[in-house]
Every structure is written in C-alpha cells, then in structure tokens.
Chains A and B, each alone.
Chain A
Amino acid sequence: NAGVMQNPRHLVRRRGQEARLRCSPMKGHSHVYWYRQLPEEGLKFMVYLQKENIIDESGMPKERFSAEFPKEGPSILRIQQVVRGDSAAYFCASSPGGARYEQYFGPGTRLTVT
C-alpha cells in the first residue's frame, strides 16, 4: 500500500523559470493539501483540493502560484517565474475524508532557486 508520493524530491530552478511539483495521494484518498516549510519555521498551509475542485486556497500567494487536482493523474503545484524566496520544502498530504481527518504526508520536494 504505497504512501503519498511526491516528485521530484529535489528541484533546482533559476530565477524566472517555472517549477512543477507533483503529488500522488494514497490510494483511496481524494483530499489533497499542499504545505510549504522554511528552515526553522512551521508548516504553512497553501491549498486544499479535492478531485477537480479547489476547496480552500487561502494560504496560496495571489500571484505566480497555482494548483490543480485533475480527475486523472497527480495533483500539481505550479510556481511560475520563481524567485529566491520560493526556495523551501513543499509537502503534499492526503486524507481519507475532509480536513478533520488525519493527514498522510509525502516526503516533500525541496525547491532551490538559484
């Protein structure tokens, strides 16, 4: 029973490029969450999605960031025109029900912007 999968595990982008982060939830889970974590800081919520729907994007920066969870395939977090401040670990989590359920996290994608 595979857990939450994220790829790539490490991503290096130059300033101005696009970063695409992928997340496959646990089998049977249709709720996906994205978080960002900076060193010495807590996990910051970004967006909560169900299949084909964005439920809550209150933590998502208004510009350059977008997320989707299509009917088929993984959830994608897209960051356009990356800047150095986007360098962080990005974690995806999935849950079997809504937000009041426990979350299962992936290993994260470490994004470095040079």
Chain B
Amino acid sequence: SQKIEQNSEALNIQEGKTATLTCNYTNYSPAYLQWYRQDPGRGPVFLLLIRENEKEKRKERLKVTFDTTLKQSLFHITASQPADSATYLCALDRGSGGSYIPTFGRGTSLIVHP
C-alpha cells in the first residue's frame, strides 16, 4: 500500500542549528513533492515545491532535496529560530490516475529552543 512517513516524534533543536526533517514514501512515483508549514489552529502555508527531475531546491534559509531512488526528501532549515517552531508537512502527488492530487504526510513537529 502507499505510505508517506514523517517522523511522528517532535524534533527539538537549539536556536542557530540546522533542522533536518525527513519524508519517506513507498509505492509512489511522484512527479513532484511539496513542503508546507502548519501552525496550531491555522491552515498550511506553502514553502517549497520540487519536481522529480530536480535534486535540490533552495529558498532563503530553506533547502529541500528529493531522491527518487531512495524515495526520500529531506527538508533543512539553517540558522533555525524559535519562530520556525511549527509542524512541517510533506505532500506528494499520486502520480498515475491523472489528477496529480497531493497526498499529505502527518507532519513532524519542530521545536526550536532559544
């Protein structure tokens, strides 16, 4: 069966360090993968989209890698700040079937300590 796995345990790091979050998937052949941030009681906010033919993408302090062989994406936040504390969701499309609707993982909670 298809699965998207994100670490269910919260990631605790110190301010200034690099946070690395993992998204693993099985039985998908996604054309793209996205990362979103969600704060409690709010809707997700789009961060980055990476396509299957791209290995890496950057935006300010954020970096995403996409390894279709390992079936894994890594999401990095460099020089992390307490304001980065949130739940981070990965999403990838269902591929064949035509509609390419994204399926979301359950998310990983990041807590950045001052």
Contacts and interface: CB of A to CB of B under 8 A. Distances in A.
Task: Give the bracket for the number of chain B residues in contact with chain A.
Answer: 20 to 34
A108 B89 CA distance: 16
Contacts of A44: 104
B106 A102 contact: no
Q: Is the interface of A mostly helix, strand, loop or mixed?
A: loop
A16 interface: no
A33 B106 CA distance: 18
Contacts of B31: 100
Interface stretch (B14-22, B44-52, B76-84): B44-52
Contacts of A48: 99, 101
A33 B101 contact: yes
A1 B89 CA distance: 25
Given A42-B89, A42-B107, A43-B89, A103 B102 contact: yes
B103 A45 contact: yes
B108 to A, nearest CB: 11
B32 interface: yes
Q: Which of B31, B101, B104, B106 has the most CB of A within 10 A?
A: B101
B93 A100 contact: yes
Contact of B93 (A42, A55, A99): A99
B43 A107 contact: yes
Contacts of A98: 100
A4 B46 CA distance: 13
Contacts of A42: 89, 104-107
A63 interface: no
Nearest to B43: A105
A45 B31 CA distance: 18
B61 interface: no
A4 B49 CA distance: 19
9 contacts: A43-B44, A43-B89, A56-B101, A99-B99, A99-B100, A103-B102, A105-B43, A106-B43, A108-B43
Interface of B: 31-32, 34, 36, 42-46, 49, 89, 91, 93, 99-107
- The 8 A-B pairs of least Cβ separation, nearest first, read A105-B43, A99-B100, A56-B99, A42-B106, A43-B104, A102-B46, A42-B104, A105-B44
